[in-house]
Amino acid sequence: MRYLILSDIHANLEALGAVLARARGRSYQRVVVLGDFVGYGADPNAVIDRVRKLRRPKVLVRGNHDRVAAGLDPGRMFNPVALFAARWTSETLSDANRTFLSDLPVGPVEVDGKFVICHGSPLDEDAYIFSDSDAAWNFRSIALDLCFFGHSHIPSVFTLEPDGIRVDVVRGPREVWKLERGRRYLINPGSIGQPRDRNTAAAFAVYDAGRGEVLFERVPYDVPAAREKILRAGLPDALGDRLLVGA
């Protein structure tokens, strides 16, 4: 079984379109989305509609931006720019798409008995996993050996080894990561709609459960077009400008 792993689309239709076009050549049977369909970008309805229309079976969890945009949380923990975007998104969403976000399950969710998915971490959908100490607490909380998570927007692999936790940031445009038996992994595929690793290309992954491999891939997209939509929508300029530098 091969799984297309998507995360942190953030209402960026240009980036999502580029990823899905590339993914057509990476045969997969199921789609997994790790949350944050919306927030920051200018196309929340189009992005949700595009994901909902994918013909493969889907396993989805919500992100913190999805929760706030759906009106389930006032967003008190958001910075002013993120909160402005969340409120704009909430006002822009169709009723059907607001309901879609409201109904998304909260991670962690087990997928086919093979792995776990969540947004921030298995312990807290708002928490970040940046370091080995962050990962240590979360390894203790999952029963399976593999968990895919989002939220940090950085393609990364945390490996629980006999002598500690190894932390790797995945930087290449295309890398295949072989998972070893007897190891445990927390893996972030990176962000589609708002990369934050100084690489402007959209990030996604494909997990081949049979081969025990994760393909990390980056896809260039029309960044100026996505930025221009943000500016035309009246969203904060910073949300468009950061796309130009991948930060």
**DSSP characters for the chain?**
-EEEEE---TT-HHHHHHHHHHHTTS--SEEEE-S--SSSSS-HHHHHHHHHT-SS-EEE---HHHHHHTTSS--TTS-HHHHHHHHHHHHHS-HHHHHHHHHPPPSPEEETTTEEE-SS-SS-TT----SHHHHHHHHTT-SSSEEE--SS---EEEEEETTEEEEEE--SSEEEEEPPTT-EEEEE---SSS--SS--SEEEEEEETTTTEEEEEEE---HHHHHHHHHHTT--HHHHHGGGTT-
Cα torsion angle, 88, 198, 157, 179, sign: positive
Ranges in the chain, pLDDT < 50: none
Does residue 163 lie within any of the structural domains? Answer: no
Question: The domain that contains 34 carries what CATH number?
Answer: 3.60.21.10
pLDDT at 228: 98
What is the domain extent for residue 7? 2-118+175-180+191-244
Does residue 220 lie within any of the structural domains? Answer: yes
pLDDT at 190: 97
Does residue 152 lie within any of the structural domains? Answer: no
Q: Which of 28, 15, 5 is nearest to 155 (CA)?
A: 5
Cis peptide before 108 (omega within 30 of 0): yes
Does residue 135 lie within any of the structural domains? Answer: no
pLDDT at 200: 97
Does residue 137 lie within any of the structural domains? Answer: no
pLDDT at 140: 87
Report pLDDT digits (tens) over 41-78.
999 999 999 999 998 999 999 999 999 999 999 999 99
Does residue 54 lie within any of the structural domains? Answer: yes
pLDDT at 143: 85
List Cβ neighbours of 162 (8 Å cut-off, separation of 6 or more).
none
Does residue 170 lie within any of the structural domains? Answer: no
Does residue 239 lie within any of the structural domains? Answer: yes
Domain total of the chain: 1
pTM as predicted = 0.95
